[in-house]
Amino acid sequence: MYFPTDLELAELAAWRHELHRRPEISGEEAETARAVRAALALTSPDKVIAYLGGHGVAAVYDGTDEGPTVMFRAELDGLPIEEISDLPYRSTVAGKGHLCGHDGHMAILMALANEFGRQRPRRGRVVLMFQPAEENGAGAAAVIEDSKFAEIVPDYAFSLHNLPGLPLGHVALDSGPVNCASRGMKVELFGKTSHASLPEDGTSPMLAVAGLMPDLTALAEGGAMNANFALVTVTHARMGEPAFGIAPGHAEIWATLRTTTDAGMAGIVARAEALVAQRAAQAGLTFAVSYHDVFHHCENAPEAVAHLRHALQQEEVAHDSGVFPIKASEDFGRFAASGPSAMFYLGAGENYPQLHNPDYDFPDALIAIGARIFMRTARNLLD
């Protein structure tokens, strides 16, 4: 199976570069979705579902015989990070960049669209899902909760993510947990302001803030990636007003909680909230806790992994079981509620800029490899 052709690869790379020039962040992917719909229209899908869970787009290619629904997912969103590069197609949007490779993932799915436009699956149907808002953890949940998702509930769901640190084109794949659960914890502490000359007349959150930052980070269970792994990273803190005459009466601490599984997350949330309550009581403060960017852990089903592994062997793509779970989070795991799902990691190069770095760019060489793996998986299941 010679797929995709050299001409198609050049066109797909050029299309990716156009997406790269105009990144949009989570929830704002209107123009990206429009570009996806325009490209999909050239492949004459049997159905296109737009505005799915926000700006999501799903294209459906039907077989003639009954069979399973097989979904392949890519992401629409970029990041609120300034790109630093000399690329001719560098981001033209200040403060935003495709610095996680979602533009490349979209190009891989567009390669599938081109092929299924020419030759439908024999049975069942293929769903190409261009999902919004992966970076903040809201997109997959919004897609699943959208009433239109009932039209395309998959029997199998597959995804990939490029990964710097692995050799270019090498695949890491295994069953079980592959991505950690994580969530952003926002702690607000409320006291009472006072004149800076009379701090004793107010209620300052200073000591609570000073104690909570090391308290929270100490909840980590160590660096070993096992069932007990936990990590707390304080990402932001703010106290009082930027003025010399006011003793503070309000503070915020933002921290990311990270665990191997959702069950582990429940435990660390309870311990973190207990610490906040204790420090607030000691300082005479009230407090509020809210959660943001909530990611469930991502777990690969053995049955879905077996289909991907068979495709890797057929396509002679180097692969191993990798070292899972990785610490980063991913919202693809929510699709596991519909049926067996699996995600693999595709090496971007051993000495390549890391994801979310300002100088990262998706390697175009991965478009063909990712497309071949997905296409072989689809044909094995549906032809």
* 7-27 pLDDT tens trace: 999 999 999 999 999 999 999
What is residue 90's predicted lDDT score, i.e. its pLDDT?
98
Which residues have a Cβ under 8 Å from the Cβ of 268 and sit 6 or more positions away? 219, 230, 232, 257, 259
CA distances from 326 to 131, 179, 323 (A): 22, 5, 7
Instruction: Please answer whether residues 200 and 284 qualify as being in contact, where contact means their C-beta atoms are separated by less than 8 angstroms.
Output: no
Domains of the chain and any CATH numbers: 6-179+298-382 (3.40.630.10), 181-295 (3.30.70.360)
Amino acid identity of residue 331, one-letter, is D
How many CB atoms neighbour CB 280 within 10 A?
21
* Low-confidence stretches of the chain (pLDDT beneath 70): 1-2, 222-223
Instruction: Please answer whether residues 43 and 57 qualify as being in contact, where contact means their C-beta atoms are separated by less than 8 angstroms.
Output: no
DSSP 98-165: --SSHHHHHHHHHHHHHHHHHS--SEEEEEEEEES-TTTT-HHHHHHHSGGGGGG--SEEEEEEEEET
What is residue 222's predicted lDDT score, i.e. its pLDDT?
64
What is residue 220's predicted lDDT score, i.e. its pLDDT?
86
How many CB atoms neighbour CB 159 within 10 A?
25
Please, what is the end-to-end C-alpha distance for the chain in angstroms? 13
Q: What tokens does 185 get?
A: 């914890």
CA distance 380 to 383: 6
Q: Beta strands of the chain (E only): which ranges? A: 47-52, 56-62, 65-75, 123-131, 156-164, 171-172, 176-179, 181-190, 194-195, 230-239, 246-247, 250-259, 286-295, 298-300, 319-320, 341-349
Length of the chain equals: 383
What is residue 227's predicted lDDT score, i.e. its pLDDT?
80
Q: What tokens does 156 get?
A: 């199998």
Per-residue pLDDT reduced to its tens digit, 193-230: 999 999 999 999 999 999 999 999 999 876 678 888 99
CA distance 58 to 113: 11
Per-residue pLDDT reduced to its tens digit, 291-305: 999 999 999 999 999
Instruction: Please answer whether residues 107 and 368 qualify as being in contact, where contact means their C-beta atoms are separated by less than 8 angstroms.
Output: no
Report strand pairing: 65-75 vs 123-131. Answer: parallel
What is residue 2's predicted lDDT score, i.e. its pLDDT?
67
What is residue 3's predicted lDDT score, i.e. its pLDDT?
86
Residue labelled with tokens 């909840």? 219
What is residue 226's predicted lDDT score, i.e. its pLDDT?
81
Which residues have a Cβ under 8 Å from the Cβ of 11 and sit 6 or more positions away? none
